[in-house]
Structure 1
């Protein structure tokens, strides 16, 4: 795994004790957790607020850093490492608690992100939110997730850009690969009926309006929501399979993959690429693990 500090300084592979680059269909779509060999001097490059870049040029800002002696001596120096967590820098601001309330009407998703502290210029497939509210003392990511649910889609990070994709379009794209390894099957209609509810609300005249009630589900009231949004809110990706595949740094959340022997492709909900150089006697590891989902309406 290629990681860089100070924008263009390559971190040697044998210095990476362990790194997990994670891609998700969430408001902060790219995160990194790593343990990097360092001494007191080199650890200064990995302090909170500094950046780490991936091979693709994605910049992540460190939000947690801890210097840890390993208890082992190499020559006359005690070996140590830095344990850090970093998140995608252009959207970093939406993950912090806000001091002031953020309320928007008919603003685009990109405008909402920027109002919450992100530095994004634009979002592919952008759309206008009828309303958005994040009160003082709250974290915007929760409210952005709810807005995406009402719009019936997700956001993904790909090729240095954030894009909004409707769930229906996500499963209509071309598959990027075929997974032949054995996968863990996850299937429980019982849990789905409890965890994926139908929503209802009232219109301006006080008449009850409902979303998708084709299946008997738990019901949940959502005030001030349109019938279209109520229907969108029941659509979601349900975790169906988990697979450990060959190391592939290019596999990302939002990809569509074929499963050998299955008729229907599945979408990657989360992709975690793991790299361990085998430093300090740890086992050497290189693999990618994906959590796959199917569309439930």
Structure 2
């Protein structure tokens, strides 16, 4: 069907390759090829970037994290656990490094980006437990990392936004670490696939109903019994009280649009301070795919400003 994209985005849409995760190995190879065609990311000289392995969930392998922090000696900075997107089956820290580094520079924060295990090789709960283990490690090593524990947040994009919402639920229900903020950027939070936007957008760029179906099938695994955990699909949570303040982003021509809006509304109804930003004319991931356009720059600026405000509370 025809979509009325922002005028600056229409030429970008015409050039985007079709993403099809019915063959996950091929889709992963395609993403790597697309990355190689882009200019290499050059991080700001003001940042120190290092990788290390940390203890994973009990009984599971260690988890790699990438620590991004300003290279001065200042302590007591805000901290954020950042979770990349990819429909639970694609993506990695390196492919999302520009976003994580941008948050570190823009908010003056220490960012810990987590290399969680991917489905279908590692279905739920492996990915979210990896992310929660990374949050616990970040809190336990806050002094070493120069993080103020009163300003610790979690955030993510797409599937990473869904995982961030799930980590916030886990942190509440397991008694910590305490979070001051959750950034849910175009989050994937509902496995029921029943919203109007999900049903309507079957051929939108980068993400659509066919990919969403395959994504949840891979993430929930072959033993899915229909009783989905809220830590897998946060929209299933019946009680959102006591969660940290939230910033939720949705795009007009994104199958995830309505579930993001509904989750933001439910957070508000539960008494959680929530800022919901919807961007007309945009599509799933357009802020990255069409970087440099006016609407994409505004989305990134709005996100950075929201993070700064959260850390200033």
TM-score past 0.5 threshold? no
**Richer in helix (by share):** 2
**Richer in strand (by share):** 1
Please tell me whether Structure 1 or Structure 2 has the larger radius of gyration of its CA atoms: 1
Give the TM-score, by structure 2 length: 0.25
Give the TM-score, by structure 1 length: 0.26
